[in-house]
Chains A and B, each alone.
Chain A
Amino acid sequence: GENVEQHPSTLSVQEGDSAVIKCTYSDSASNYFPWYKQELGKRPQLIIDIRSNVGEKKDQRIAVTLNKTAKHFSLHITETQPEDSAVYFCAATGAAGNKLTFGGGTRVLVKP
């Protein structure tokens, strides 16, 4: 089945700096790559997603890039703010098509 690795597991940045989280996946048939933000005790919230026919997608301060050849995708957050502090998860669909496999998560702390 699909395997998703996520790095780093923790990330501390100064407010205003950029944060980058990287994920790799194993199943070359995967075609959907969402990113979720989860605050303590809350549900995961979709913040951005990308499909395999696109290499990059941007939404205000958040961008995601996808390299299908290398089977990795990354989340970029620019001009970080304290409210960006949370746990971020990447995910990918495997050959099954609608089943998401999650990465291990990255705990992001934005210091004021």
Chain B
Amino acid sequence: GAVVSQHPSRVICKSGTSVKIECRSLDFQATTMFWYRQFPKQSLMLMATSNEGSKATYEQGVEKDKFLINHASLTLSTLTVTSAHPEDSSFYICSGGQGSPNEQFFGPGTRLTVL
């Protein structure tokens, strides 16, 4: 199957700083990329959907000014958590899709810990 990478795999930062997470599709062009957040022992919650070259569509309750998403190319999307706080500590996972027929390919995830 298609391969998606994420970087970094783990990051620890101080409260108030910003953190950027990169998501790359390595062997396919991801027309759409999705960003999820997963708290311990919980399900994946979709944060936003981004299409290359256009603004991301955020899910209800997700602050677009806090979670900045850029999808500048068909192989790269970035999520920047601005002014991170301890409650933003979570496992962030991206996925890439090629449009229909719906299958998404997940990255390995980034564990963010905000002190």
Hey, which bits of chain A sit against chain B, CB under 8 A? 31-32, 34, 41-46, 49, 51, 89, 93, 97-105
Interface contacts (Cβ under 8 Å), in number, total 51
B104 touches A105 (CB 8 A): no
For residue B108, CB closer than 8 A to chain A, the reply is: yes
Give me 8 A-to-B residue pairs in the complex whose CB atoms sit less than 8 angstroms apart, sorted by A's number.
A43-B93, A44-B93, A93-B102, A97-B102, A98-B97, A99-B34, A100-B102, A103-B43
Check if A97 sits within 8 Å of B44, measured CB to CB.
Answer: no
For residue B65, CB closer than 8 A to chain A, the reply is no
Known contacts A32-B101, A89-B43, A93-B102; is-contact A98 B108 (Cβ 8 Å): no
Interface size class of B (residues with CB under 8 A): 20 to 34
B101 touches A42 (CB 8 A): no
**CA–CA, A43 to B99, complex, Å?**
20
Closest to B102 in A: A32
Q: Which residues of A contact B43 (CB under 8 A)?
A: 89, 102-105
Of all A-B residue pairs in the complex, the 6 with the closest CB atoms, nearest first, are: A32-B102, A43-B106, A102-B43, A102-B44, A43-B108, A104-B43
Question: Chain A residue with minimal CB distance to B60?
Answer: A1
Residue of A nearest to B107 (CB): A43
- Residue among B34, B100, B104 with the most chain A CB within 10 A? B104
Contact A42 B44 (CB under 8 A): no
- Whether the Cβ atoms of B97 and A44 lie closer than 8 Å is no
Given contacts A34-B102, A98-B32, 19 further A-B contacts (CB under 8 A): A31-B102, A32-B102, A41-B109, A42-B109, A43-B93, A43-B107, A43-B109, A49-B103, A93-B102, A98-B49, A98-B102, A100-B102, A100-B104, A101-B46, A102-B43, A102-B45, A104-B43, A105-B42, A105-B43
